Amino acid sequence: MLRRLFTSTVARLVAAIFVLQLASGAVALALLHSQMLQVIASDRTRQILDVRDDLLAAYYEGGREGLTEFIAARRGSTVDPLIFVAVSGSGPPQLVHLAQVPAVSAGPRPAPVAVVPAPGAEPLDGLAIATDLSDGTRLVVGALTAPDRRFDLAFAEAITVTVLLTIGLALGGALFVGFMISRRTHAIAATAQALAAGDFAARVHNEDHGDGFDHLRQQMNFMAERIDRLVRELQSMAGALAHDLRSPVARLTASIETAHAAVPEGPAAEALQLALSDAAALETMIATALELARLDSGTIGDRRTRLDLAEIAVDLIELYEPLAEQTRTTLAVAAPRPVMALADRELVSRAVANLIDNALKYGGDHIALAVRREGPWAVIEVADNGPGIAESDRARAMDRFSRLDNARTRPGAGLGLAMVSAVAQLHGGTFELAQASGGEGGAGGLLARFRIPGA
């Protein structure tokens, strides 16, 4: 199921959802990072301007001496190690947190500069604003931006953790959604497959989620119930019709027998004999149809016992040997005992007899019956060397009242193989037709495989 999940349309939908979630998360984080950098830059600029304004106020109150005293007293924000101040003019420059005066032009806003915080140290990035005073003194106030890089590293770590969590949660959520969708759709598809195979009792499991799948489940179950009811009504009608026809056909047969016994030999007697054969075939057809209706409706009681299928096969071969000799057909059986199964002896015997009858009518001159165990299964195979059945016609050959072109000139109702399939299904087994080796023209005969659970 996982392989189908990863190769289905649901997988592509899950992948699209996952990519969209990841992309939206990355865009949101990038916008957040940009906004935070703007806030920090704005705050740093404001801080520089505030320090500059404090120093200018000290200069206007006490001149150069007042400015020097203010800086020496480390008042206000000048105690911040990230803030640097440079006063240059006549005499040596006065430096705070600096090794040399940064090169910056006077202007209204701070500008990027290279800052050397200590002799021999590597230059650091910073922002600075320069103001030229009336006495020729230049005041430079700035701040280091190197901590912003540390912020970038911290933010990158946070982004990495966030992205990993987002990937994990998004992938887990997407896979969960995809698994739930796939599980529910496959459950509905499995029910539809069972209905198509003839299991009209199949239903989609009831899960009340209130979504579109529930609506689909309800409609699927409603359709299954409708089909089940219609099929049961059809089976009931067919069974009732077959049951009601038994009496008139029996009376017809009795009347033909009486008439046949009363007329002398001649054309009339021959015609009555043909009518008697057709009436007997009609009785057999009605009896088989009634038996199929009983199998479908489940009205046959549980008569299963533990029995040896090999014994049944040997008994049937002995029963059919005289008929096979008349048609010059060779019967062979390979039935190592015991091959035990929990089965209805009468139904299994009728099913195997139908297979032998079918082989005698349409097969070649050799019929082989084999009984064996295949793991948990008990298998009965009837193979002949006749023309066989084309692969495209095998499923139709097991339909009720279906007769292939090469069988239309032979007596029969087209119910024999359908009867075998119904008996196999009643026992929880399978029935299938395949090609057997040794058929006419080397094309292979017919192999009928009847399989039920072993015991």
Examine residue 221 and state whether it is found in any structural domain, yes or no. yes
Higher pLDDT, 410 or 215: 215
Q: Do residues 256 and 283 make contact, with C-beta atoms less than 8 angstroms apart?
A: no
Residues 368 and 396 in one domain: yes
Residue 265 lies in a domain: yes
Rounded CA-CA distance 183/8 in Å is 12
Q: Tokens representing 121? A: 């140290």
Q: Which of 49-63, 77-91, 321-335 bottoms out in mean pLDDT, i.e. has the lowest?
A: 77-91
| DSSP designation for 360 | H
Q: Which helix (H) or strand (E) holds 435?
A: strand 430-436
Which residue segment(s) compose the domain that 117 sits in? 10-150
Average pLDDT of the chain is 76
Per-residue pLDDT tens for 155-175?
777 778 877 887 777 777 767
Q: What's the Rg (C-alpha) of the chain?
A: 48
| 264 vs 412, more confident | 264
Which secondary-structure segment (H or E) carries 44? helix 9-72
Confidence of residue 412 (pLDDT cuts 50, 70, 90): very low
pLDDT in tens, 310-321: 888 888 888 888
Do 321 and 443 have their domain in common? yes
Q: Please indicate, yes or no, whether residues 15 and 45 belong to a single structural domain of this protein.
A: yes
Instruction: Count the helix, strand and coil residues of the chain and give each as a percent rounded to the nearest 5.
Output: 60, 15, 25
Please indicate, yes or no, whether residues 290 and 321 belong to a single structural domain of this protein. Answer: no
Residues 170-184: b if buried by 16+ CB within 10 A, e if exposed: bbeebbeebeebbeb
Domain shared by 368 and 275, yes or no: no
Instruction: Give the count of domains, the chain.
Output: 3
Please identify, among 242, 268, 297, the residue that sits at the C-terminal boundary of a domain: 297
How far, in Å, CA of 354 to CA of 418, rounded? 10
Q: What is the pLDDT of residue 403?
A: 53
Residue 215 has pLDDT above 50, yes or no: yes
In a domain, 375, yes or no: yes
Show which of 277, 297, 317 is a domain's final residue: 297
Q: What is the DSSP string of 181-198?
A: HHHHHHHHHHHHHHHHTT
**Domain end among 132, 150, 168:** 150
**Considering only 195-199, 267-271, 286-290, which range has the smallest mean pLDDT?**
286-290
Strand 366-374 relative to strand 330-334, pairing: parallel
At 442 the pLDDT is 43
* Residues 293/426, Cβ–Cβ less than 8 Å: no
* Model pLDDT, residue 422: 80
d(CA 220, CA 34): 54
